[in-house]
Structure 1
Amino acid sequence: MEAPKSHGAKLSRTPSSLLRSPTLRSSSFHSLSAIDDDEEVEKKKPHRPHPIPNPNPNPPNPNPNPHPRTLLPLLLPLPFLLLIFFLIFYLRDDSPILGNLVLASALVVLASVAARKSRSLWLRRRGGAFRRGESVQWFIGDADRALRKEKSNGRVVREGVEFYSNGDCYEGEFHRGRCNGSGVYNFFAKGKYEGDWIDGKYDGYGIESWARGSRYRGQYRQGLRHGFGVYRFYSGDSYAGEWVSGQSHGIGVQSCSDGSSYFGEFKCGVKHGLGYYHFRNGDRYCGEYFGDKIHGFGVYNFANGHCYEGSWHEGKKQGFGMYTFRNGDTRSGEWDSGILQNPLPPLDPAVQRSVQAARKAAENAIRLLRVDEQVNKAVTAANRAATAARVAAIKAVQNRIDGKFCDTNV
């Protein structure tokens, strides 16, 4: 009797390198908020309002009595006044009218200087042309960007658009220069991600799809699939269950396009632990797996009605076990690479121990708690997160059209 072989197609796994974090290319992208004419980019200074700093905000007052300083402007025209009085006395006898005109002009000049000084002192005490407490903002270059918040009625715009040097594009919410909140990341000619972001990485719930047709819906953590989710491959295969660090890990269901399916435990992306496999030809196995192969103790039921209960090694009957035919006949003993090498009676203690261990492993595999409910909740949350991401992307594009740019540094 030939050894049973595992006819299940192997589930191809997408390497975690597909999950590229856009933040690794933060130095190469060009924000749409900074796209201007090529000649103006080098000329313009930062457009954020900058108040003129005071190097010494509290300078010491060298003159504790400020009143004498107010007389300085009155003393400045003294030489001019002396000259006028000299001309008055010199021209008084010859032309009294000319002398009176010169005197009147001197008085007008003196009154004008005094009035200008008084107004300057009043404005200084009142804070200039602004009331006390109002800030004066100074701008270098174009002040249009600095006033964009006023154009948007004082509301801070969170949604923006970014292009990357490799052709990728992000549309969504930002915080402190990184993708945060909801957003859509489009991989150039490869696929896209729609969902939650934290510090530039997938984190929360979302939907990831690729150009060839594969798609994942579920939970993420730090840019990797983590939690519960469903991955459907373009070939028709799928996995629904637990994920850890981007790989199937925990309890899940693997379905293949050829009709075979596996329910049980996974480790690092492969079947490992207890599981139940239904092969495409009708065979069924319940028991232990190790490294994606039948290994340990388990029960294998063939489609033709035969059954083997016992020990396995890398997909082949190995050790003690019992093979039962459809008509009830049995062959038991010690097996080696699928061949019975040492026949023993069914009631042999070694055979009985191996058969009991195989049946117990099969029962434990069937009793594994399913995670269908957790997976369905994760898929629902992923759909909601993807919808929110699409809304944020639409707002980002609309802000771009309306001239409202997101300040990615806040």
Structure 2
Amino acid sequence: MDLLFVLAGIVILLILILKKVNPMLSLLIVSVLTGLMLGLPVQKVMSSVTNGIGSTLGGMVMVLALGAMLGKLAEDSGAAKKIVYVLIRIFGIGNIQWAVLLTGILVGIPLFYNAGFVVLIPLVFSIASAAKLPKLYVGIPMAAALSVTHGFLPPHPGPVALASIFHADLGKTLIYGLILSLPIAVIAGVLFPRSIIRLPLRSKDSDPLTLTEDAGLPSAFKSFVTALSPIFFIAAGTIGGLLSVNPFARHLFEFLADPTVALLFAILLTLVIQNIPLQRAMDSCAEGVKGVAMIILIIAAGGAFKQILVDSGIGEQVKTLTANLPVSPLLLGWFIAAMLRITLGSATVAALTASGMVIPLIGAGAPAELMVIAVGAGSLMLSHVNDTGFWMFKEYFNLSLKETFKTWTVMESLISVLGLIGVLVLNQL
């Protein structure tokens, strides 16, 4: 019976989202209603909401804020654009998709999905025009790369929130995510568009690709350091901590691997090497945090809903019902997140809603770090008309609904399924 009440809460959440109620308000309303329907006392409902918000944000709010600051610094300093031009020069027109794919991954690490999309889309159109290639042929690699980093890699909101909720090691989550992200991005971003898009015939005398580089951009070295430094600090700290036998060195590496410390060092390093006037840099940081304020509030409300489900024992009921099923807990986590994604639209809301149900599934056969990626992969499944990303892709590329389903929806579903397969393979190693 309790599961029916949870289902009713999810239906109410779907109705509110379809009515265009703000996702944060929707999650908060449904958290309270679901708690009351599950028979929790009023005081317990409110304490669960408060505890859920506190426990979720406590471990990640600084990571999200610092990540947003670094992303905005990369955007405003021109580092993101510089990376595009460097990779285009290295790869050339024959491998233009690889250049755009790597650009999307590098830019997608510090930038959130929507910001990365808006920053890169004019450059994608410029490349397509100069190379005389279909926009989708160049644009899908960029979108696939941003989706992969959004679903699998900290410091993006979904993976960071799930890692906090599941008490997963963020460094290990990042390493697993990197292992899966590159091959998945290649399949969904390079091989997939090549299979569906017919290229125009080119003569041998065609003009070479020429892109006029904006003046005043930072150097390539400074740009790549800005984009990659947080990943370097977290990965180096995690690997160093695992390999080090000296207690002092191990503690030092563990300190460096902390995502808050890594992002703080990355921002300080960016301020030094980019030589940005301090006041302008601080303005960029403030704007970056403003851009993710609502995301942080949505995650907070998602944490409240998660705690209601945990305190009501729903997760244990799910565990009991699925105990005898001959399937991996990681597959169940992916499936629950995928069903919520298809129903609710938002990847972040789907992942957070699923988290409260799958926490009891985490164990020896389902490490917390892999559950983060499994749920993140499920939250990308079958994007359609209730997802803002679907409409952003459709409008920017001027596609029909049918064309958007054949490109964007298939690409997102491909990333989701490949993510699940990758997680199951890693779990067997």
> TM-score surpassing 0.5?
no
Indicate the structure with greater strand content.
1
**TM-score for both structures, normalised by structure 2:** 0.19
If you compute each CA radius of gyration, which structure gives the higher value, 1 or 2?
1
Higher normalized contact order (CA 8 Å, seq sep 6+, divided by chain length): 2
**TM-score for both structures, normalised by structure 1:** 0.20
Indicate the structure with greater helix content.
2
